[in-house]
Amino acid sequence: MLKPLMAAMLLAGLAVSAGPLTSAWAADLKVIQTQRSKDVVVTLKSETGQWKPGKNAFVIEFTSAATKQPMDMGKVSLSTSMVMPGMAPMVDGATVTPDKAPGRYLGTIEFPDAGARQVTVTWDGPAGKGSTRLSVSVR
């Protein structure tokens, strides 16, 4: 009797701890920014349509500019930098993993503070190798 109770408590704990990370992926997402790079459209989305200081969950979607169809981009990464006068740039990297849906990648990133970030998205896969840059405000 103790084992089923412990198993139920463990599953409940996992569901609660995963909640903030999965909520952005299950909800209606708002566009943070869209950027075209040659024949690829890169769309960065989140639950609120913006990033804030602290932990953020987001989605990157890749579609063909010509056909509007999702594109498998293989290995995808996202990094950000913030330039501050008289200091080295603050650089933050995200954790990005492919979603079950083609052309869709799930990510998390944490920011220590607000400010304008230069975001670089890179990919290397079946659709080729490339990158694009976006400017995103963390507020």
Here the CATH number for the domain that contains residue 76 is 2.60.40.1930
6 assigned to some structural domain: no
**Phi, psi (rounded to 5 degrees) for 29:** -95, 150
Domain that holds residue 52: 30-138
110 assigned to some structural domain: yes
14 assigned to some structural domain: no
7 assigned to some structural domain: no
pLDDT tens digits, 25-67: 556 999 999 999 999 999 999 999 999 999 999 999 999 999 9
Q: How far apart are CA 139 and CA 133, in angstroms?
A: 19
**107 pLDDT more than 80:** yes
Structure tokens, 83:
């330039």
92 assigned to some structural domain: yes
Dmax of the chain from CA atoms?
Answer: 63
95 assigned to some structural domain: yes
49 assigned to some structural domain: yes
- The mean pLDDT of 93-98, rounded to a whole number, is 96
What is the residue-wise DSSP string for 74-102?
BEEEEEEEE--TTSPPEEEE-EEEE-SST
Pairing mode, strands 40-46 and 30-37: antiparallel
Please give the tally of structural domains in the chain.
1
Count H helices, E strands: the chain?
1, 9
Structure tokens, 59:
């989605």
4 assigned to some structural domain: no
